[in-house]
Amino acid sequence: ADPKIGVLVMSYGTPESMDGIEEYYTHIRRGHAPTPEQLAELTSRYDAVVGGVFPLRENTNRQAEGLQAALDAAAPGRYAVYQGLKHARPYIEDGVDAMGADGVRQAIGIVLAPHYSSMSVGSYMTRARERAEERGIAFQAVESYHLHPKLIEALVKRVRDAYAELAASTGAGKPLKVLFSAHSLPVRIREIGDPYEEQLLATSSAVAEGAGVSDWQFTWQSAGRTREPWLGPDILETLKETAEAGYAGVLSAPIGFVSEHLEVLYDIDIEAQAEAKRLGIKLVRIDMLGTDSLYMETLAETVEQAGRAAF
């Protein structure tokens, strides 16, 4: 049989254990070790949510398996899925090496994040492409899939369901708002005409329209702890304004992420939730996509389309 087309599924990565947090954080900071205070602060966030288990690893494994199954259903025997993580083992380069070792000559890269930014998806792809070139593998990158109809359908269903739950718990007729959010990035992405913000707004507006929600806003979350300015407003500020404007509840829809991990389980479920309580406003979060078959089909169809165009 012809060698398979390799599919490099990339995700952010998470430490392997509590002892691995320092190495992971150092990698995120491009080789600069965190100060003891920074390390303690990050460790305490992991402690609060995971208690020794790092859900992103298992979630990424399951999504990679789900994508392999969806590809096998659509094109039996044609694609082989490999994993490459941005900040943890197996690193992106390890994934490309594994494809090379299996004799793969053609590969497609896709990130478990629907929106393109040069600082997010772009940097995954640069690393993957460089390694693929060194290994003599033809490489095709998927840049984004933020408006794929099945992705929107999966998110619409989640927003509808959670909105109904929120409405039931706040009482009939109370004003509610949907807050779509994604990981903030440094403001300087605007200077290079990065499509990140525009794509996030496009997803938000398609999902709001599909769910029949007219009162919604996009806001940022999880901004980095650096000196440079990051895109705002942050969700904590937005919650305060929303409460002050008289809303009884908000539905948090972190559409920039596709599974449960620190940025959702801590930044939304613990930090934003505590702020909402303090402000006396109800906060409910949508379920994350995980291995929803509509999301797996979104990935599989996007990969197949890229494969047909490139090879």
- Residue 206 has φ and ψ, to the nearest 5°, of -65, -40
Neighbour tally for 146: CB within 10 Å: 24
CA distance 84 to 74: 23
What is the size of the binding site for ligand FEC (CB under 6 A)? 21
Q: Which of 285, 224, 221 is nearest to 256 (CA)?
A: 221
Is residue 105 marked as binding?
Answer: no
CA distance 36 to 40: 6
User: Looking at beta carbons only, is 250 or 262 nearer to ligand FEC?
Assistant: 262
Nearest-approach distance from CB 257 to ligand FEC, in angstroms: 6
Partners of 182 in beta bridges: 220
Identify residues 274-303 at the interface with ligand FEC (CB under 6 A): none
Partners of 216 in beta bridges: 178
Stretch that binds ligand FEC, among 77-85, 160-168, 220-228, 301-309 (CB under 6 A): 220-228
Is residue 30 marked as binding?
Answer: no
Identify residues 21-80 at the interface with ligand FEC (CB under 6 A): 25, 28-29, 42, 54, 56
Q: Is 248 in the site for ligand FEC (CB under 6 A)?
A: no
Is residue 32 marked as binding?
Answer: no
Q: Is 177 in the site for ligand FEC (CB under 6 A)?
A: no
Q: Is 12 in the site for ligand FEC (CB under 6 A)?
A: yes
Q: Which of 77, 103, 224, 232 binds ligand FEC (CB under 6 A)?
A: 224
Angle between helices 36-49 and 21-28 (to 10 degrees): 120
Nearest-approach distance from CB 69 to ligand FEC, in angstroms: 22
Q: Which of 27, 261, 282, 285 binds ligand FEC (CB under 6 A)?
A: 261
Tell me which H or E stretch contains 113. Answer: none
Is residue 183 marked as binding?
Answer: yes
Q: Which DSSP string corresponds to 145-190?
A: -TT-HHHHHHHHHHHHHHHHHHHHHH-TT--EEEEEEEE--BGGGG
Copy the structure tokens of residue 67: 């994508």
Nearby residues of 287 by Cβ (< 8 Å), 6 or more positions away:
158, 161, 162
Residue 77, classified by CB atoms within 10 Å of its CB into exposed (0-12), middle (13-18) or buried (19+), is: exposed
Is residue 12 marked as binding?
Answer: yes
Q: Is 203 in the site for ligand FEC (CB under 6 A)?
A: no
Q: Is 216 in the site for ligand FEC (CB under 6 A)?
A: no
Is residue 22 marked as binding?
Answer: no
Is residue 196 marked as binding?
Answer: no
Q: Is 14 in the site for ligand FEC (CB under 6 A)?
A: yes
Residues of the shown chain interacting with ligand FEC in the complex, contacts defined by CB under 6 A = 12, 14, 25, 28-29, 42, 54, 56, 113, 119-120, 183, 185, 224-226, 256-257, 261-263
Binding-site entries for Fe(2+): 183, 263
Binding-site entries: 12, 29, 45-46, 124, 183, 263
Binding-site entries for Fe-coproporphyrin III: 12, 29, 45-46, 124
